[in-house]
Structure 1
Amino acid sequence: MTTLPKILFLLLAMTLGVSANERPVDCVDPLIDTHLSRWFYFNSASRPFGMVNLSPDTQTKGSWKSGYLYGDTHIRCFSHVHAWQLAGIPVMPITGEMTGHQGMDTYQSEYSHDDEVVKPGYHKVMLKDYGITAELTSTPRIGFHRYTFPDAEEAYVLFDVGALLAHGPMVDAQVRKVSDHEIEGMSMMKRTGRRRKETAIYFVASFSEPIQGFGGWNATEVEGEGKDPKISKTPVHGVTEIKGANSGAYAKVPAGKTLLMKVAISYVSTENARMNLAAELAHWDFDATVKESSNEWNQMLSRIEVQGGTDDQRRKFYTDLWRAMLGRRIVSDVDGSYMDMTGDDPVARKVAPGPDGKPAFNMHNFDAWWGSHWSLNVLWPLLCPEVYSDFCNTSLEMYENGGRIPRGPSGGNYTSVMIGDSSAPALTSAWQKGIRTFDGEKALEGLVKNTGPQGGRYIGGYAVESNPNAWKEYEEKGYISRANSLPGGHGKAVSSLTMYNAYHDWCIAEMAKSLGKDDVFDTFIMKVGNYKNVIWPEKKCAWVRMPDGAWKDGFKPVDSVFEQDGFCEASAAMTTFFVPHDPQGLAEVCGGTAALADLLDGYFKASEPKNFTIGSHGRFHAETFVDYTNQDSTGMAHVFNRIGYPWLTQKWVRKVQELNYAGCDPYHGYNGDEDQGQMGAVSALMALGLFQFDGGSGRNSSFDLTAPIFDKVTIRLSEKYYQGKTVSIVVKNNQPDNVYIQSAAWNGMPWNACLMPFDSFIQGGLLELELGPQPNKQWGVTSN
């Protein structure tokens, strides 16, 4: 390329806002909003949905404000598991005196962001106290370490596998030297209030250099309980095995050299960890593994390509997509083995093989589906439908084993996260979108069972037992009164549960109709209007019923509390709009579409000064009308689309996107609980100008259209599920103030609706949008 064409090419790239060599993976910034992390939030050395998430920990106590926090100055360890209610296998390289028995407060090391490189699949940092350069990467089930040690008298790798980590202490631990190049062991996590059974993680660690010495430490005295006990530990040398609660081990390694270490894990056994090691990482080429990880991430992220926008907009968008493929991790081994923890005792099982002889799907661990109908359920079919299928099959495998479709499984355990029956929209949305590589009839059977008196629907947050009286009242009256709270967390959120039930019943009815089960459809379609029983027409707001049908005293649409009595992490005002299946029906109760639009527009205006947020998780969710930092608000701006005011959806979606989700540094980005990809998915969908207010669970589901922030979007749909079709969205007159759609065309023909049927979208084509600074109130108010 001669000089002049090269210059013109670079100028064109700058005009488009696209770097000449920019790949989607290169746009991802793992450090965004890491100043106040949850244990599972930060990711660096991890593959998409990988079992291993190897990363530094600056805080190791608690589920919140733990893991990697950007503002901290010391690294306590590198641990391999950062998942929903799971943690394990912390290691730390050191030089000088062996201080493992003195604990992380002693052997932690100062570090600086100036000496740090963080990318998807790779983390590099200098441990300043030891002069060690530590580099981390991974395969799905293996953490791969490269430590460059300085010249020193002694060098060690500590395996503090019995240490307290995140959600609680380890009740047992074991490390055994197998050979001069290999050790193996396990950690047994104590049960928590959410994960009700002790859960083991097994590992095998392989070293590139010979182990020169092995030993460890045992606890000799433990004072106190909880998350900060006082433990005295005694070092033990010249042994081949260390075991017991609060124990750990060290491997003495050559100083002044570069050490490679592979740590494979399994939830089944050390033998399976060794099998994972042989299958996934037979070589010692660290740099090649970093490249493989980067390429895998890039392949996934490239399924949605954007052009234009600012550098920060592209950086945030691809970070959002990346986050949507984290957190909800694989828990089965390469041969499909996994631990079934649904019964009284753990049972090792294996996923049946598919036609290629490999496991038909991966088993996954995940936080609740709660809220995913407005986030992951919409994005995943575009981004990773094959993984969505795995999640559906995981749910049915657990149903087969334990008799209940899970709300949010942890390591094979039932956890009953939040309240409601959020697996209903998750499974039905996949089915309606053509992801039918799971047993639909079994899914429907399990979903119907969940709605019964002993079903998962009536188990409160993290509880075990249901409240059959709540079921009875709902079936008889069409609402749950304050008298029939559920056991467990959010048990008083009876009006939220009534709202959820109505939507979830609609999801079940729609799936039943798709499967030709008219009797099931007839039963559940009769309940989909039950949300109206907790909408107070005179107040135009959801509220709480008493057993006699009277409204509870003390009405307030918002209140300065974590969650209002009767509502789940929300205010009464925002819960009013939880009607994904029937916004028109809500309008009828609240005085018509104009009255509802005016009310909701006022809520957004009132919430704008606080950027539609309440701040970090743990603040008062109920203090505001609109809260885009938590799940139950994330569909509110799209209500306007469904009641004839699409220009207001366009206005407020862009406002929320810019004020709440556009942050692109360690102190901003999500402004709350990102929750394993959910807020990343909402942010990405807003940037694309796509959404599904009904969560995609309807037989005739549609995308809600708004203005993308990019000049062009290219979505490459799955070959397996959507014949590899491509959808392109081209935006004309795209300027920061031009947020309103003036006109649209689909495959060259005028498109006058603010909705596009999903079935039309997946046929592929070109959507052209022309934008302007003022609303065109004639566009989008009719159907095509």
Structure 2
Amino acid sequence: MDFKNTRYCFTVCLLLLMLSCKVSKTEKTASVDYVDKVYPLLDTENSRWFYFSSASRPFGMVNLSPDTQIDGAWGSGYRYNTDTIKGFSHVHAWQMAGLSIMPVTAETDDDQIFTDFYSKFDHQTEEIHPGYHKLFLDRFKIEAELTSTTRVGFHKYNYQNATSQALLFNLNTALGPCDNAEGSFVLDNEREISGSFIMTPTSRRPKPLITYFKVLFNKPVSSIKKDESTGNYLVNFKEESGELMAKVGISYTSPENANLNIQAELDHWNFDSVVQESRDQWNKMLGKIRLEGGTKKEQNRFYTDLWHALQGRRIISDYNGNYPDKTGDKFRIGKLPVGEDGMPLFNHYNSDSFWGAQWTINTLWGLVYPEVMKEFTMSLMQYYKDGGYIPRGPSGGNYTHVMTGASSTPFIVSAIQKGLISEDLDEIYQALKLNHMPGGIMAKAGYEHETSIGGGLDYYLDKGYVPYPLPVPEDEYGIHKDGSSMTLEYAYQDYTLAQLAKKLGKREDYNYFTERSKKYKNVFNQNVGWMSPRKVDGSYSNDFDPYQYENGFVEANAAQATWFVPHDLEGLSVLMGGKKEAIFKLNNQFKEAKKLGFTSGTSHDAELHPEYSRIPINYGNQPSIETAFVFTKLGNPELTQYWSRKIVNTVFSDLSPSRGYNGDEDQGLMGSLAVLMKIGLFQMNGGTEEDPAYQIGSPIFDKITIDLNSDFYEGKELSIISTNNSKENVYVEKAEFNDLKLDSFEIKHSDLIKGGALKLQMTGSENEK
């Protein structure tokens, strides 16, 4: 025997085996399906129109999904406890809804189908994951499958034992927050139709929006019938066997662009490949954060939270960069700037308010998805170039004036301070400054479309606070006219603008807005120790109740809102008698809030409940979601670590249709908050100061690895490693970054983005705080 050759062959085989094992391990890591960790049904018993998505891409123009309730912005869309499908619609967005289609079996002379087309379904036959939804329509014996690209809905229907195949186009109908009206279409050829309808105005989106669509079918149309009573259309098909498929492109600019969106994004009929492409895209986005440790349920809930942080706000621009501009008196088709390749440099977006974003998407997007934060900043600036000022919540190219203040300022300043935006800073500053001056958006109360007095800015500048109630006529305009909350918001937002003025060397403006940022002190009532509603004559109410909901505070009570001074918590503590007294006060609030589970019930409407509304800290809505990290800023990080863990375990750990965010999720804000609390990073100032700081909390996982975007950041990845972590060991005994001990429980953005390892030594305590 040739031992030399035998030994050689053995060595080669061993090496091949080792390589095989290594590749296998790599493939296993690379093929993790984060999509399968998402639980789409979370909180769907309490969801609102834009909350639920299934067959959609991240921020997709189309977010196709079934509707079980169709009337009203609240209690509509996909509601888990309603067992009836009323259509599959393509747009579930802030103040926008449209293009509802229902597969049916009906003869061409059956007019009843236009008003009687609902079908029961059973959750047992459903399959849902990001980018895909399948269910069975019991009445018509149709298996329905939905997926999409960014701008195109893709339908597949399997008609079982059917004598006819038909699609009902409900172009004229109540749908979520608005009616669809004046809908019609034409048959372009036997396999294509095109048409339009109007999303009628709402009290929030004051202008109508024409929506265009193009539909391609995989089989020829035999007939089309219009119902004169409803104005809707029934499309029948020649072939009664085989799957019926439809590609539905939408556009807010033209039918030609609706068709272009199809040609650019979906030029084939391979349904399964689109499902896989969607899965791949979601896996890539969700896989930016990888977890080790924790239970299966904890990991599933984490990726469900992360999924919510990447949707809700929707693209409104076409593939070629055209978009609807309704910021002026007349509608115009805008065109986004393009790069050398002729493609748009960014997408244009529809969005609910950035109210509360300083403690949520500012931090998550800024660290993990900087490309998204940059796009949204550029989109907000496009509104400024078109309409003259930056919105705080645009819808369909409209200004909506949703909520209060200049909530876009902290978002944009944070993007600049993190280095995501570096060009045209002076223009951006001037645009932001405009919103903080008389006539700007800060002067408008919620949904105040015709005037600029309901926001009380003139009082803020003259008296140093916004009164509550506002006197007539100011009190007659807009909603959310809660003066003390406005004062607190304006002061913080002025601080953030001052930081940008400082960065740009605008010393006079820096001093001016810094001085304005101190006006929060003018609504602190020393006699009661709380922020309080203050009358126009300067007096405070004699029967003040810190737990009375919306008594001078927007969607909050005084106890919750008192801590809304993220830029000067030390100054707030001085008003309270010192840090020790402030910590004692807040800790007692948390003890009381714990009795009610830290939220005002389990849904947004429960905040009005006479008992639930009196909770001193509410993690079901934005005004007090920063409070657990106040302790760190006041020198007691142990309480931050203790209470943040309690909140995660109590508020953000459910995995069922009945609970999830226990209030108002608001397009990813609460999902983002949950993610940040679970990875143990937070930014009290929303990342708006020079070289923004992250406060360290109490991560719930053993290891969290964040991929850093190399287009923006120097490092490759950031790891957060928690040694000796458990449900009992919630305290950070020692913190090191890249093997250097940290002197405090804060770390700078400039350090984190270099990558490396944040190592936390965890420990426990038997003493309840």
**C-alpha distance 665-417 of structure 1, shift in aligned 2 (>3 A):** same
Q: Which amino acid aligns with 1:67?
A: G
Letter in 1 for 2:380: S
Partner of 1:333: 318
Cα deviations by residue, 1:385-416 (Å, 9 ceiling, x for unpaired): 11211111111111111111101000000000
Taking the aligned partners of 1:25 and 1:713, their CA distance within structure 2 comes to: 18
Mapped partners of 1:487, 1:307: distance in 2: 54
Secondary structure of 2:267's counterpart equals: coil
Residues 527/661 of structure 1: CA separation in 2 closer, same or farther (3 Å cut): same
Q: 1:722 to 1:442 in 2, by over 3 A?
A: same
- Answer whether contact 2:108 2:236 (CA < 8 A) is retained: no
Deviations 1:340-360 (A, max 9, x none): 001111111100112332111
- For residue 496 of structure 2, what is the aligned residue in structure 1? 507
Corresponding residue SS for 2:651: helix
1:222-621 to 2 correspondences below 5 Å? 233=230, 246-436=231-421, 439-464=424-449, 465-467=451-453, 470-482=456-468, 483-484=470-471, 487-559=476-548, 563-615=549-601, 616-620=603-607
**How much does 1:441 deviate?**
1.8
1:749 is aligned to 740
Q: C-alpha distance in 2, partners of 1:644/1:543?
A: 26
Contact 2:488 2:564 in 1 (8 A): yes
Cα pair 2:108 2:225 within 8 Å, conserved = no
Distance 2:737 2:532 in 1: 42
Q: Are 2:81 and 1:71 aligned?
A: yes
The equivalent residue for 2:138 is 128
Deviations along 1:745-776, one digit per CA (max 9) or x if unpaired, are 11112223111111111111111111111299
- The verdict on how the C-alpha distance between 1:174 and 1:724 changes in structure 2, with shifts beyond 3 A counting, is farther
Match of 1:197 in 2: 207
Q: Which residue of 2 aligns with 1:708?
A: 699
Distance 1:714 1:579 in 2: 32
| Cα pair 1:87 1:167 within 8 Å, conserved | yes
Amino acid of the structure 1 residue aligned with 2:627:
M
| Cα 1:98/1:710, change in 2 over 3 Å | farther
| Distance in 1, Cα, partners of 2:441 & 2:698 | 39
In the alignment, the residues of structure 2 paired with residue 490 and residue 204 of structure 1 have an alpha-carbon distance, to the nearest angstrom, of 39
1:718 counterpart (709, 725, 729)? 709
Higher deviation after alignment, 204-213 or 614-623: 614-623
Partner of 1:230: none
Q: Which moved more, 1:440-449 or 1:469-478?
A: 469-478
Deviations 1:102-138 (A, max 9, x none): 4676211111111110000001111111111111000
Is 1:677 matched up with 2:668?
yes
Partners of 1:468 and 1:136 lie apart in 2 by 44
Partners of 1:708 and 1:259 lie apart in 2 by 48
Quickly say closer, same or farther: Cα 1:683–1:48, change in 2 above 3 A. Answer: same
Q: List aligned pairs for 1:99-114, cutoff 5 A.
A: 102=112, 106-114=116-124
Q: Distance in 1 between matches of 2:750 and 2:479?
A: 37
Among 167, 177, 186, the alignment partner of 1:176 is: 186
In structure 1, distance between residues paired with 2:112 and 2:180: 17
Residue from 55, 58, 68 that aligns with 1:45 = 55
Question: Against the structure 1 CA distance between its residues 468 and 625, is the aligned structure 2 distance closer, same or farther, given a 3 Å change threshold?
Answer: closer
State the shift of 1:566 in Å: 1.0
Counterpart AA for 1:473:
Y
Structure 1 gaps of 5+ residues are: 220-232, 234-245, 778-784
Instruction: Give the superposition deviation at 1:726.
Output: 1.2
Q: What amino acid maps onto 1:619 in structure 2?
A: A
CA contact (8 A) 2:352 2:402 kept: yes
SS of match in other structure, 1:767: strand
Shift of 1:477: 2.1
Where 1:638 maps in the other structure, the secondary structure is helix
User: Aligned equivalents of 1:83 and 1:352: distance in 2?
Assistant: 25
Q: Which letter maps to 1:708?
A: P
Give the drift of 1:36.
1.6
Q: Distance in 2 between matches of 1:438 and 1:419?
A: 28
Match in the other structure for 1:688: 679
Inter-CA distance 447–101: structure 2 relative to 1 (3 Å threshold): farther
Kept in 2, the 8 Å contact 1:304–1:714? The answer is yes
1: CA distance, partners of 2:109 / 2:83: 20
Alpha-carbon distance in structure 1 between the residues aligned to 2:459 and 2:394: 28
AA in 2 matched with 1:744: A
- The 1:294/1:150 distance shift into structure 2, 3 A limit, reads same
1:708–1:266 Cα change, 3 Å: same
Match of 2:751 in 1: 760
Instruction: Please identify, of 548-557 and 675-684, the stretch whose mean Cα deviation from structure 2 is larger.
Output: 548-557
Counterpart Cα distance in 2 of 1:717 and 1:356? 26
Whether the 8 Å CA contact 2:444–2:478 is kept in 1: the answer is no
1:647 is aligned to 2:634: no
CA distance in 2, matches of 1:100, 1:290: 35
Match of 2:71 in 1: 61
Give the letter aligned to residue 410 of structure 1: S
Query: 1:148 and 2:158 equivalent?
Result: yes
* Structure 1 residue 39 displacement after superposition: 0.4
Question: What is the distance in 2 between the residues matched to 1:379 and 1:594?
Answer: 31
1:780 alignment partner in structure 2? none
Structure 1 residue 738 corresponds to structure 2 residue 724: no
Asked whether the equivalents of residues 212 and 251 of structure 1 are also in contact (C-alpha less than 8 Å), the reply is yes
Contact 2:148 2:154 in 1 (8 A): yes
Partner of 1:223: none
1:257 Cα deviation after fit: 1.1
Change (3 A) 1:101 1:272: farther
C-alpha separation in 2, matches of 1:703 and 1:671 = 26
1:476 is displaced (CA, Å) by 2.1
**Deviations 1:73-97, CA, capped at 9 Å, x for gaps:** 1111000000000000000111144
Q: Which runs of 5+ in 2 are unaligned?
A: 1-12
1:118 to 128, 132, 141: 128
Cα distance in 2, alignment partners of residues 34 and 603 from structure 1: 30
Q: What is the CA–CA distance in structure 2 between the aligned matches of 1:356 and 1:540, rounded to whole Å?
A: 60
The aligned amino acid for 1:361 is F
Contact 2:221 2:235 survives alignment (8 Å):
no
- Quote the residue 2:174 is aligned against: 164
Q: Distance in 2 between matches of 1:588 and 1:255?
A: 77
**Contact 1:190–1:199 under 8 Å retained in 2:** yes
User: Percent of pairs identical after alignment?
Assistant: 41
1:471, distance to aligned residue in structure 2 (A): 2.5
Asked if the contact 1:76–1:104 (Cα under 8 Å) also holds between the matched residues in 2, the reply is no
Residue 437 (structure 1) shift: 5.6
TM-score of the pair, normalised by structure 2 = 0.93
Pair 1:135–1:735, CA change in 2 (3 A): same
| Aligned alpha-carbon RMSD (Å) | 2.2
Counterpart Cα distance in 2 of 1:250 and 1:381: 47
> Which amino acid is 1:689 matched to?
G
